[in-house]
Structure 1
């Protein structure tokens, strides 16, 4: 006799939902939320000097841009390579 095998359609939905909220993803989402609160709490204008020009921009925009550049660099460096 063959062992009972679960129906693939019944288990695939449970596995996909359980895999969405792993501890690592939950931690990353909490850190992203805290970073966004930090960024949007700092709304004053600030002067930023980038090589030669000096611009005045809201601090949240500078923090958000720096975070986005850091995220892109991190994603690029951890990408799987063939």
Structure 2
């Protein structure tokens, strides 16, 4: 995947646990001037922090199985990704 157009890092507090997350916006793989997002959730190990990309159960393309949605602007895609990660249980 290429360098993201937009990205945002945040932390979700749930059950007295702080879980870091990351959302990045990339061009849609097939539609010009459309955008999709990826979500990465953090798994804290002893020393390192590893972000694990969330897989889309209905992938946009076989080679881009982590992309979600199709939005008209990068900001719409970023807002949708942040809304999704904030609304679901980590």
Q: Which has the higher contact order (CA 8 A, sep 6+)?
A: 2
The structure with the largest strand share of the pair is 2
Structure number, greater radius of gyration: 1
Asked if Structure 1 and Structure 2 have the same fold, meaning a TM-score greater than 0.5 normalized by the shorter chain, the answer is no
Q: Please, what TM-score do these two structures have when normalized by structure 2?
A: 0.25
Q: Please, what TM-score do these two structures have when normalized by structure 1?
A: 0.27
The structure with the largest helix share of the pair is 1
